[in-house]
Chain A
Amino acid sequence: MSTFIHAMNAPTENPDIHSSHTTGFFTDSTLCIGCKACEVACKEWNDVPEDGLNWSGYSYDNTGSLSFSTWRHVKFVEGEIKPGDGGNSGNHLSWEFSSDVCKHCEVAGCLEACPTGALVRTEFGSVFLQPDVCNGCGYCTVNCPFGVVQRNEDDGRAFKCTFCTDRQKVGLEPACATACPTKSIMFGNLEELREHAQSRLSDLHGKGMKDAQIYDPKDTSVKGLHAFFLVRGDPRMYNLPPKPEVPIVYQKDAWRSAVIGSGAFLLAALIAFTGSRHSSRSQRKVSARRSRA
């Protein structure tokens, strides 16, 4: 029983995946120029449907968020000016760009929730949604703490970033990283990227950019991201949640409640029906006596 409960709460283990093969994205927003080449490259390579050339009204942002048809999304963060940001007028803004993508979590909510096994961990450590297996139940969308994966209502199935697994298999970099003109999107071995990110961070801090920080929540149940970010200021301005949790952490409480509820129902039903048996017997006796009389 305890192993059963453990299996319900433990994330899927991947003994065949070696950290030396694990690849990742390091998106450095201080290098991003907001050109959206990554969005275009992603759409062209992966044949992702267009999502309309509408302006959201929020700076130069088109789509507002990642979606089934937006696997790379450049955020345009217009913020209040702070001392040291440059500019000489109160009307100026700070303007940061950051290319968002599926985080390919170390422990992925979508993957754990998927009932069909369509969402799998690849040999590169990324989370891959097999479109031919997905049956469109939509449960992954409510289990992603970053709001990445989404169901396409026209098609019925869910879609998200593939990490260009097809390109990686033949030794190529993902389309977005290949197209990025400033190396804001860096692709490579995850451990090496993490080391590089640290040196980049200390470099920026040394240059006085004290508000730069790395967003890679390792201290929550997500246990770290395979696509992590360097941002300036509070990550919440980039819609990056401070404490993302994988929903399997709620399962212990949920199943315990289900067992308690079932037990209460069963016990109450046993008592009620045992009681009704006596009363119906006595009623039957009464009616039998009446019919005899």
Chain B
Amino acid sequence: MSTWPSESQKQRQPTATSEARLHELRSQAERKGRVEHVGVHPEGAPFPRASVETGYYGIPLLKQPPWTWEIPLYFAVGGAAGAAAVIAALADWIADDDKLAQDARWIAVGGAALSSVLLISDLGRPKRFLGMLRVFKLQSPMSVGAWTLTAFGSAAGAATFAKLLRSRYDWLPIRIVGEISQGMAALLGLPLHNYTGVLIGASAVPVWNKNVKTLPVHFGMSGLQAGVSVLELMGNENAALNWLGILASAFESWEGFNIESDSNRVLTPLKRGRSGFLTRAGGVLSGPTPLLLRLAAVFSKNSDSLRKLAACCGIAGSVLTRYAWMSAGRASTKDWRLPLEVEDKRPQEKPLPARMVEAVREPRRA
């Protein structure tokens, strides 16, 4: 915003030219009944009028998701932790793979701890997280998720601690507590690994609620992929991990294909602009790329390095995908046409100067 009066205005003195200009304006007004010269020409003029086609001057109706960088990262970390707890239990009970089970338990408990740190960082103060545990509301995915994460963290922590103790004191009570908490962690890991899809799917943001039927599976598979990938990078070569990775990357490829082949305009943020780039980059890194690498690893002699490469892609893809959806959500709320159900006739329209848009759309700090 420019300041008024400006420095040049303060120092200005009336001159013959300026007075002649005023007389000119007056005579023009007398003769024609109006003045044709532009008096004040504000930046961005002519301004759009409010109409059914332009909404309320194109000012977005919906508020942007307020979450900072911590939340998409939490989606990835929490998803990986939840999936790891399930893998830990099954690797321990079914596959008898002690190293895999132990690594997965550490990912579960470490991921839960990191998740809490990320959430608290977004809330601003540690005490605020306790507010989540004031009530339990089934209607609120945020409440269900906060309780799930808390219970999951406790169970995963207890399971890991019990296993540590057992290496020294193999007493029956410790064993029982360890097995029960491991089962609890796996049971809670299932909702934890994909509830974040429910969280953003069941919202007023158009691009999110449009995809509500696949988002939870999508986020779950993304979390599974991240969990499997971290375990592989930790040196686990169990073939089951590769097969789970194939499942996840196959679903991610299918999801990417679905998004690309759907021409619904609500999905535009997933294809265009910054969020579109992120979505496609995340999709390629977590879909076809690891899928091909992992399939090759099944038949190749050099399967270990192929799987590690797939794992690196998978982790990057999982994190990128979460940022992509957050970015798409922001872009979607900026599209004022969607909630007003106004047809998009953008080609004829000139975009407003960025400064004008910012002045109106960004919340001002007090």
Contacts and interface: CB of A to CB of B under 8 A. Distances in A.
Given A115-B143, A251-B202, A257-B197, A52 B364 contact: yes
B93 to A, nearest CB: 8
A135 B97 contact: no
A44 interface: no
Interface of B: 1, 42-45, 47, 49-52, 55-57, 59-67, 83, 86-87, 90-91, 94-97, 122-125, 128-132, 134-135, 137-143, 146, 190-191, 193-195, 197-205, 208-209, 212-217, 220-221, 224, 238-241, 243-244, 247, 329, 333, 336, 339-342, 356, 359-361, 363-366
5 contacts: A4-B138, A57-B43, A77-B50, A242-B340, A258-B220
Nearest to A260: B217
B86 A254 contact: no
Given A4-B138, A265-B224, A269-B87, A142 B63 contact: yes
Interface residues of A, number: 97
B361 A241 contact: no
A132 B45 CA distance: 44
Nearest to A245: B204
Given A115-B132, A143-B204, A273-B91, A248 B51 contact: no
Given A64-B360, A77-B50, A78-B49, A241 B339 contact: yes
A135 B137 contact: no
Interface of A: 4, 7-12, 49-52, 54, 56-59, 61, 63-65, 67-69, 75, 77-80, 93, 109, 112-118, 133-139, 141-154, 156, 233-234, 236-239, 241-245, 247-248, 250-251, 253-258, 260-262, 264-266, 268-270, 272-277, 279-280
B335 to A, nearest CB: 12
A183 B330 CA distance: 38
A280 B65 contact: no
B204 A258 contact: no
Given A114-B142, A115-B137, A139-B140, 12 more contacts: A65-B59, A68-B363, A69-B364, A116-B131, A116-B135, A136-B128, A142-B65, A145-B204, A156-B125, A236-B341, A239-B59, A265-B220
A141 B49 contact: no
Contacts of A148: 63
B142 A277 contact: no
A12 B197 contact: no
Given A135-B132, A141-B63, A273 B95 contact: yes
A273 B106 CA distance: 19
A54 B364 contact: yes
Nearest to B192: A262
B59 A64 contact: yes
Given A247-B203, A265-B220, A268-B244, A51 B65 contact: no
